[in-house]
Amino acid sequence: MKPVIGLEIHIQLKTQTKMFCSCANAWEAEPNSKTCPICLGLPGAIPTINKLAVDLVVKTSQALNCAINNHSFFERKNYFYPDLPKGFQISQHRKPIGINGYLELGNAKKINITDVHLEEDTGKSMHTDEGTLLDFNKCGIPLMEIVSGPELESAEEAVEYSKKIYQLVRWLEVSECDMEKGQMRLELNISLRPEGSTDLPSYKVEVKNINSFKFLKNAIDYEIKRQTEIFDKGEKPTQENRGFDDVKGKTVSQREKEEAHDYRYFPEPDLPPLRLETKPLTEILPQEAFKKLLEKFKLPMAMAEQLTREKSVYQFFEKLIEEGMGPVGAGNIIINKPSVLQEDPKIINQKSKIKNQNLIKDDTIINNIVEKVLASNPKVVADYKAGKEETVKFLMGQVMKESKGQADPQLASQKLQELLKQ
Amino acid sequence: MELCDLTVLQAKERLEKGEITSVDLVSSCFERIEKVEKALNSFILLRKEEALGEAQEIDKARKSGKSLGSLAGIPYAAKDIFCTEGIETTAGSNILKGFIPPYESTVTKRLKEAGAILIGKTNCDAFAHGSSGENSDFGPTKNPYNPQYVPGGSSSGSGSSVAAGECLFATGTDTGSSIRLPAGFCNVVGLKPTYGLVSRYGVISMASSLDCPGVITRDIKDQALVLSVISGEDELDANTKGAKNIKNRGSDPFQGSDPNLKIGLPKEYFAKGIDPEVKEAIMQAAKFYENLGFKVKEISLPHTEYGVAAYYLICHSEVSSNLARNDGVRFSFSDRSGSDYQSVYFNSRSRGFGAEAKRRIMLGTYVLSAGYYEAYYERAARVRRLIKEDFDKAFDPKVNDVDVILTPVSPTPPFKLGEKVNDPLQMYLSDILLVGVNLSGIAGLSVPCGFTKSALPIGMQLIGPRFSDELLLEVGYQYEKEHQWIERKPEL
Amino acid sequence: MAKLARIELDKDEAPVFAQQLSRIVSYADKLQEVDTSKVEPLFNTTELVDVVRKDDQKYQEPLGQDKALDNAPEKDKGYFKIKQVL
């Protein structure tokens, strides 16, 4: 049996005010102090749309290769829960902002993005022995939901997908995605189907409450095991919602009071529909930046990966290149001394030039150093050849150590790549 | 005539001349209230001391020459569906008994800023469900012209209090009838403004795409004055974007309508079932306009018969969603006798809501539920467009080419309390005359146009396209200035 | 349906409700008479589009904790409180 996995990722947007009112989108504050009649759902209060939130979702949708619904609009998702003050959540259903996009994994596999839509967050409920305490500061914070198709087939793929979403959303400055603060939340849909089958399974298990990549992997591993055991008994797992208990490392059934949710979606009458005019994205995306580092600057993959984790890092790299630094040298400086981002690129370049003049550039010498390092580290070389490309960093470090920091990093790196290919 | 029977403009003039004080006005209203309120039950809440205090402040400010708002010192009442900060607001329902809004609706805020003095909250059908005034959890309101009869609803207390002289004007809301019908039944003036002209922020929602806040006044000049204060774009209500506020014409308004105006009489609105006295009164009004130089002609609004169906399917759905927030968790009536949180919902809502509210919520839930959305709610929305297009064609110079449409406000005069109009055809007709205007988002003005032989008021309705509110006031004024029905006060 | 709406009807309220329910069904049936195939649904009569507010514009002040909790049937140290949620 193979897993069939889809992910729904909820992301709180980086705005100053909430989605439908001008209360502050604040993290820590006295309970219920960042509330108004609108986000408290008091009688008579009606919403207004935060333009920035819409723009951020449009930007993300475009970055995920989605088609944009120019006539997108909001709808009411009706259900009862104490942390949902209006008794409905303003969300999207029939015409979400972005649809039919995709995200490419490292192995070039495309994961479909079914839709990217915009909604409001609910309040926070804390369960105590005497009852439930409710704080509505969080209620109404703009929430972007990215829904993937069921193309993920393993915990590794799921984690990679989530990490790429994390990277992309942070890169675009759409959210900080701080998972400890609940700014990015993962919801897992998982079922099993026989090897070779391409039909969608007739059931799916939803697991909520996952707030780290590690827990995502744990939850998936647990579910695969749990569902496999059920199949082995000749039965079929029930379609249900489960929660992830990170302490026990297992998923737990949540006996919902309501059977199937009938959300009774209808267009939100208080809000006229949107008219989205989309201009093409001008900023470079992490995947494009990564490609550029590999192809144009010929950087090793591990270095390219590190330099494209954060946009600020990549932008600083580009600044150093503008100053005339060699790409490998620039890359190394950034990686070895992250605080360098605070410094002036001109000065860095000058310092580096000075250092450069004393560098060993002789091909024979460098060749000898590299050969020596490779010979002394057979296991690492074997690992590299087996696919563990990050090990090149270690080898590079050894080369620099061996040369007492004097080897020209660009030439040394090239030589290393060359000899490793043999 | 007592001070409390003055129009707003008359009172304003005397205040500005120094002939009377605001305290005089407020006191006069409360004297009248003392006399008649027991019989009428127009109010859920009265605030005599506070109102007198505010009146004193305004009088003081006026004496010291401070510049004052355009309604300074005028006593008014607000339908208890407008959230008034620090003042109990119930929407006529037990579930909101004790609810003290921590914020002010835009309408009452603008009135406050203009210096108007709130003397109380008027009774209404609970959550505005109803068109007779009998559905309030706080007892029915009576018609001042005959307390055995209904005042019309849902802004029942607003209609009766203005007619009875308990205040000089009152705010109301109209979702399917609720300003026009009480105005028509109580011999006063009520405009259902264009949808989106007046802000709904702070108005307890019934059906969000249909609700229109407005006012009930003694005459049309007062309508213009008060509307000039409350209408116009509000950044807190997205549907008011671009709405310009109505101009206050002052005491010399309406230069005189263009005599080339055309009035349409939709044949579907004069179908069988209309009370002959009502029909006669409307036809007299039509004749009056003809004599003025207007052209009167018959038109057709072919989808009229589907209006009631479309209205209720849409209205109940939106209502069911809007009332979901009354869950006993964050405010007022809360029954916590059960053992778990679900019971808080069930018990609070089942015991707090009145029967009619409960039924409408459940019906709305049904209409929206899975499997029914397309056939019910969405289909009703399509028919809604057809109804609106009927009106568009009526007003289109290339099609039916009328400027204003004239109809009765109700097929019958006011009916007796508890009578619940027995003739299903008349019940249906009474909705039909009014809901098409709400479905289309256009404007409808109710103007007094006579009395029955049994001394019950009859109202006529003038309908115009979106943002024709000022035109309707003009046309209505042409009639009103030659017919002083307002002079015929109720015998209390 | 009562469960979805979180409402219970008393015994005497039920017959009127049944009547109203059948009327609603008849309304829906009546609308079937109309050919709506060429017409789009009308949800908002204003025909407004794209009404948005700027993120950094404050339209009103927050209520503050006290005012927010003012009407709460039960509260505790700044929170709204209700019975245990399972």
pLDDT digits (tens, 9 = 90+) for C27-59: 888 999 999 889 999 999 999 999 999 999 888
Which chain C positions have a beta carbon within 8 Å of A80's beta carbon? 6
Which one of A219, A254, A275 terminates a domain?
A275
Residue of A nearest to B96 (CA): A43
Neighbours of chain B (3+ CB pairs under 8 A): A, C
Q: Is the pLDDT of residue B291 over 80?
A: yes
Q: Which residues make Cβ contacts (< 8 Å) with residue B422, sequence separation at least 6?
A: none
Q: Is the pLDDT of residue B343 over 80?
A: no
Q: Which residues make Cβ contacts (< 8 Å) with residue A310, sequence separation at least 6?
A: A170, A171
Lowest mean pLDDT among A88-102, B59-73, B238-252, B400-414: B238-252
> Is residue A15 less than 8 Å (CB to CB) from chain C?
yes
pLDDT bin (cut points 50, 70, 90) of residue A261 is confident
Bridge partners (DSSP) of residue A147 are: A8, A115
Tell whether A6 is covered by a domain.
Answer: yes
- The reply to whether residue B320 touches residue C31, judged by beta carbons under 8 angstroms, is no
| A262 and A334 together in one domain | no
Burial of A321 (0-12, 13-18, 19+ CB in 10 A): middle
Residue of C nearest to B338 (CA): C83
Q: Is the pLDDT of residue B427 over 70?
A: no
Q: Nearest C-alpha of chain B: how many angstroms from A329?
A: 55
> Is residue B290 less than 8 Å (CB to CB) from chain A?
no
Q: Specify the pLDDT at position B205.
A: 95
Distance CA A52, CA B66 (A): 43
Which one of A213, A246, A275 terminates a domain?
A275
Tell whether C62 is covered by a domain.
Answer: no
Which chain C positions have a beta carbon within 8 Å of A271's beta carbon? 51
Lowest mean pLDDT among A144-158, B138-152, B364-378: B364-378
Partner B, chain C 39-78, Cβ-Cβ below 8 Å: 39-46, 48, 51, 53, 59-60, 63, 67-68, 70-74
Tell whether C77 is covered by a domain.
Answer: no
- The reply to whether residue A36 touches residue C60, judged by beta carbons under 8 angstroms, is yes
Partner B, chain A 200-229, Cβ-Cβ below 8 Å: none
C79: nearest CB among A32, A36, A272 = A32
Question: Phi/psi zone of residue A66: left (φ > 0), alpha (ψ -120 to 50 degrees), beta?
Answer: beta
Residue B437 near residue B394, CB atoms below 8 Å: no
Bridge partners (DSSP) of residue A188 are: A7, A207
- The reply to whether residue A23 touches residue C54, judged by beta carbons under 8 angstroms, is no
Q: Give the model confidence (pLDDT) of A21-68 as tens digits.
A: 999 998 778 999 999 999 999 999 999 999 999 999 999 999 999 999
> Is residue C81 less than 8 Å (CB to CB) from chain A?
yes
Q: Specify the pLDDT at position A348.
A: 79
- The reply to whether residue A44 touches residue B202, judged by beta carbons under 8 angstroms, is yes
Q: Best residue in C52, C56, C59 to probe A by mutation, most A CBs within 10 Å?
A: C52
| A181 and A51 together in one domain | yes
Which chain C positions have a beta carbon within 8 Å of B389's beta carbon? 39
Residue B201 near residue B83, CB atoms below 8 Å: no
Q: Is the pLDDT of residue C72 over 50?
A: yes
Bridge partners (DSSP) of residue A407 are: A360
Q: Is the pLDDT of residue A306 over 80?
A: yes
- The reply to whether residue C83 touches residue A136, judged by beta carbons under 8 angstroms, is no
Q: Specify the pLDDT at position C69.
A: 92
Partner C, chain A 119-178, Cβ-Cβ below 8 Å: 125-127, 130-136
Q: Best residue in B320, B330, B438 to probe A by mutation, most A CBs within 10 Å?
A: B330
Which one of A215, A245, A275 terminates a domain?
A275
Distance CA B187, CA B492 (A): 15
Q: Which residues make Cβ contacts (< 8 Å) with residue A285, sequence separation at least 6?
A: A63, A168, A171, A172
B368: nearest CB among A43, A87, A266 = A266
| A239 and A381 together in one domain | no
A269: nearest CB among B203, B208, B235 = B208
Tell whether A280 is covered by a domain.
Answer: no
Q: Specify the pLDDT at position B253.
A: 53
Tell whether C12 is covered by a domain.
Answer: yes
Tell whether A261 is covered by a domain.
Answer: yes
Question: Phi/psi zone of residue C64: left (φ > 0), alpha (ψ -120 to 50 degrees), beta?
Answer: left
| A350 and A231 together in one domain | no
Q: Is the pLDDT of residue A16 over 80?
A: yes
Q: Is the pLDDT of residue C5 over 50?
A: yes
User: Sheet of A98-104: strands edge to edge?
Assistant: A67-68, A98-104, A110-120, A142-148, A2-12, A184-193, A205-210, A240-245, A250-253
Distance CA A106, CA A163 (A): 12
Count helices and strands in chain B by DSSP H and E runs: 14, 11
C41: nearest CB among B327, B359, B381 = B381
- What's the gap between Cα A194 and its chain centre? 30
Q: Which residues make Cβ contacts (< 8 Å) with residue B465, sequence separation at least 6?
A: B391, B392, B395, B442, B443
Distance CA A328, CA A409 (A): 7
Distance CA A244, CA A238 (A): 17
Q: Which amino acid would we find at residue B372?
A: Y
| A60 and A176 together in one domain | yes
Share of chain A above pLDDT 70, in %: 98
Q: Nearest C-alpha of chain C: how many angstroms from A67?
A: 19
A78: nearest CB among B205, B324, B345 = B324
Quick one: CA torsion of A63, A64, A69, A73, rounded to 10 degrees? -90
> Is residue C78 less than 8 Å (CB to CB) from chain A?
yes
| A170 and A240 together in one domain | yes
Q: Nearest C-alpha of chain C: how many angstroms from A31?
A: 6
- The reply to whether residue A17 touches residue C46, judged by beta carbons under 8 angstroms, is no
- The reply to whether residue B324 touches residue A87, judged by beta carbons under 8 angstroms, is yes
Residue B233 near residue B218, CB atoms below 8 Å: no
Q: Specify the pLDDT at position C40.
A: 95
- The reply to whether residue C7 touches residue B362, judged by beta carbons under 8 angstroms, is yes
Helix, strand, coil shares, percent, chain B, to 5: 45, 15, 40
Q: Which amino acid would we find at residue A3?
A: P
| A238 and A377 together in one domain | no
**H/E run at residue A132:** strand A131-135
User: What 3-state DSSP class applies to A4?
Assistant: strand
| A255 and A355 together in one domain | no
Q: Specify the pLDDT at position A127.
A: 86
Supply the range of the domain harboring residue A370.
286-420
Quick one: CA torsion of B221, B222, B225, B229, rounded to 10 degrees? -150
- ipTM summary value: 0.93
Residue B134 near residue B415, CB atoms below 8 Å: no
| A21 and A164 together in one domain | yes
What is the DSSP-derived secondary structure letter of residue A47? -
Distance CA A323, CA A278 (A): 34
Count helices and strands in chain A by DSSP H and E runs: 13, 15
Tell whether C9 is covered by a domain.
Answer: yes
Residue A252 near residue A240, CB atoms below 8 Å: no
Residue C70 token pair: 């003012």
Partner A, chain C 14-53, Cβ-Cβ below 8 Å: 43-44, 46, 48-53
pLDDT bin (cut points 50, 70, 90) of residue B295 is very high
Q: Specify the pLDDT at position B256.
A: 61
* CA distance readout (Å), A413 to A134, A196, A321, A349, A389: 57, 43, 17, 19, 14
Distance CA B39, CA B163 (A): 14
Range B182-196 average pLDDT: 98
Bridge partners (DSSP) of residue A241 are: A206
pTM given for the model = 0.90
- What's the gap between Cα A277 and its chain centre? 26
Q: Specify the pLDDT at position A257.
A: 41
Domains and CATH numbers, chain B: 3-257+468-487 (3.90.1300.10), 306-377 (no CATH)
Domain count, chain A: 2
Q: Specify the pLDDT at position A335.
A: 84
Residue B265 near residue B294, CB atoms below 8 Å: no
Domain count, chain C: 1
pLDDT bin (cut points 50, 70, 90) of residue B143 is very high
Supply the range of the domain harboring residue C23.
1-29
Range B330-344 average pLDDT: 75
What is the DSSP-derived secondary structure letter of residue B187? T
Pairing between β-strand B295-299 and β-strand B443-451 as defined by DSSP bridges: unpaired
Which chain A positions have a beta carbon within 8 Å of C72's beta carbon? none
Which chain B positions have a beta carbon within 8 Å of A47's beta carbon? 238
- The reply to whether residue A48 touches residue C86, judged by beta carbons under 8 angstroms, is no
| A319 and A254 together in one domain | no
A22: nearest CB among C3, C46, C59 = C59
What does the mean pLDDT of chain B come to? Answer: 92
Tell whether A281 is covered by a domain.
Answer: no
- The reply to whether residue B368 touches residue A48, judged by beta carbons under 8 angstroms, is no
> Is residue A266 less than 8 Å (CB to CB) from chain B?
yes
Residue A413 near residue A396, CB atoms below 8 Å: yes
Which chain B positions have a beta carbon within 8 Å of A44's beta carbon? 82-83, 101, 105, 200-205
Range B367-384 average pLDDT: 89
> Is residue A51 less than 8 Å (CB to CB) from chain C?
yes
Burial of C26 (0-12, 13-18, 19+ CB in 10 A): exposed
Range C54-81 average pLDDT: 90
Which chain B positions have a beta carbon within 8 Å of C4's beta carbon? 365, 369
| A312 and A177 together in one domain | no
Q: Specify the pLDDT at position B20.
A: 97
Tell whether C16 is covered by a domain.
Answer: yes
A23: nearest CB among C50, C62, C79 = C62
B441: nearest CB among C46, C51, C82 = C46
CB environment B98-125: b (16+ within 10 A), e (fewer)? ebbbbbbbbbbbbbbebbbbbbbbbbbb
Residue A130 token pair: 């005497």
Q: Specify the pLDDT at position A39.
A: 95
Distance CA B234, CA B213 (A): 13
Q: Give the model confidence (pLDDT) of B91-107 as tens digits.
A: 999 989 999 999 999 99
- The reply to whether residue C31 touches residue B379, judged by beta carbons under 8 angstroms, is yes
- The reply to whether residue A48 touches residue B236, judged by beta carbons under 8 angstroms, is yes
pLDDT bin (cut points 50, 70, 90) of residue A258 is very low
User: Sheet of B404-408: strands edge to edge?
Assistant: B43-46, B117-122, B75-79, B169-174, B212-217, B189-192, B443-451, B457-464, B404-408, B262-266, B295-299
Q: Is the pLDDT of residue B251 over 70?
A: no
- CA torsion sign, B466 to B470 to B473 to B475? negative
Outline where DSSP puts E strands in B133-259.
Answer: 169-174, 189-192, 212-217
Task: Give the residue numbers of B annotated as catalytic, written as ranges.
Answer: 79, 154, 178
Q: Which residues make Cβ contacts (< 8 Å) with residue B117, sequence separation at least 6?
A: B22, B26, B51, B54, B55, B58, B73, B74, B75, B76
Distance CA B92, CA B76 (A): 18
Q: Specify the pLDDT at position A344.
A: 82
Q: How many contacts (CB atoms, under 8 Å) link B and C?
A: 173
Quick one: CA torsion of A85, A86, A91, A95, rounded to 10 degrees? 170
Tell whether A291 is covered by a domain.
Answer: yes
Among B169, B207, B209, residue whose Cα is nearest residue B191 = B169
Distance CA A379, CA A148 (A): 40
Q: Specify the pLDDT at position A253.
A: 83
User: What 3-state DSSP class applies to C7?
Assistant: coil
Q: Give the model confidence (pLDDT) of A191-204 as tens digits.
A: 999 988 888 888 98
Partner C, chain A 21-50, Cβ-Cβ below 8 Å: 21-24, 30-37, 40, 48-50
| A145 and A110 together in one domain | yes
